[in-house]
């Protein structure tokens, strides 16, 4: 895997003929890595894709962060390292929080937002934080988190792979991720976001139920909301083809947007 600004990343390019589409930057969630995104999404045929491992995750070195803003700064540095002027920030769960924070702090570099199973605040049960911080309870905490990430009908193999990724994490990094989620709250700032936004949520999401996504839609001007029936928190793992199709449709809409005379800045 190549690296930029100390982050290892997966890269996919369909060739120059599709460069009219804005690049997509996939941001994984707490305790995940780039492989949290299934191949159907990582290899969208018409899109340039970057999927980094956040600091301390996957193949990226570092100690991880304890707040979402620091992760947003990491993504900004990553884009600078690649000389990316802008990208469609696509995040799941904590990754969605990072995308929201990025859009608020660096709006000119966010061509669009795609938020999966996320929210403007992501409180974590104190018992989970306590268990993640205890060597004796860490694995049971991972079990609890993993069980709540999927619908009842998900393939056992998908759950096994998800648990394996989390157990590979250093406990301190895993705890830091969930502390970052618990501290995150941009509810009051949502009306400031003036960026095309697609919101996706599984109807069976236990971690961030649909009401969180509905609130995002109500608070972000022009946002679109799509519900994946029967899917859980990790909807892209359970229904990758559906999610990939909706992302491709949104990206196509972005590429057709034109700058109108009224939206151009008048030089004086």
- Structural domains present in the chain: 3-263 (3.40.50.1820)
Q: Does the predicted TM-score (pTM) go above 0.85?
A: yes
Q: What is the pLDDT of residues 22-54, one digit of tens each?
A: 899 999 999 999 999 999 999 998 899 999 999
Q: What are the contacts of 216-219 at 24+ separation with CB within 8 A?
A: 216/115, 216/118, 216/119, 216/120, 216/190, 219/120, 219/187, 219/190, 219/191
Query: Apex CA 254: angle with CA 233 and CA 102, to 5°?
Result: 55
Rg (alpha carbons) of the chain, rounded to whole number: 18
What does the pLDDT read at residue 263? 34
What is the token pair recorded at 107?
A: 């709006």
Q: What is the pLDDT of residues 46-71, one digit of tens each?
A: 899 999 999 999 999 998 999 999 99
Residue 260 CB partners (closer than 8 Å, separation 6+): none
């Amino acid at each position: 895997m190549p690296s930029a600004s100390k982050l290892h990343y997966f890269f996919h390019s369909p060739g120059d003929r599709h460069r009219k589409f804005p690049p997509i930057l996939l941001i994984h969630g707490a305790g995940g890595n780039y492989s949290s995104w299934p191949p159907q999404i990582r290899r969208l045929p018409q899109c340039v894709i970057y999927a980094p491992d956040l600091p301390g995750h996957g193949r990226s070195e570092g100690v991880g962060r304890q707040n979402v803003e620091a992760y947003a700064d990491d993504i900004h540095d990553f884009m600078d390292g690649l000389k990316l002027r802008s990208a469609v920030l696509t995040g799941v769960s904590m990754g969605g929080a990072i995308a929201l924070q990025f859009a608020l702090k660096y709006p000119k570099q966010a061509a669009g937002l795609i938020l999966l199973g996320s929210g403007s605040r992501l409180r974590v049960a104190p018992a989970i934080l306590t268990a993640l911080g205890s060597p004796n309870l860490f694995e049971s905490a991972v079990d609890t988190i993993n069980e709540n990430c999927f619908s009842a009908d998900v393939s056992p193999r998908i759950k096994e792979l998800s648990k394996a990724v989390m157990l590979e994490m250093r406990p301190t990094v895993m705890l830091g991720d969930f502390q970052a989620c618990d501290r995150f709250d941009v509810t009051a700032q949502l009306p400031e976001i003036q960026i095309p936004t697609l919101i996706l949520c599984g109807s069976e999401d236990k971690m961030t139920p649909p009401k969180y996504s509905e609130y995002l839609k109500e608070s972000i001007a022009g946002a679109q909301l799509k519900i994946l029936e029967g899917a859980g928190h990790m909807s892209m793992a359970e229904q990758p083809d559906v999610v990939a199709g909706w992302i491709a449709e949104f990206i196509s809409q972005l590429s057709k947007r034109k700058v109108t005379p009224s939206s151009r800045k008048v030089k004086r």
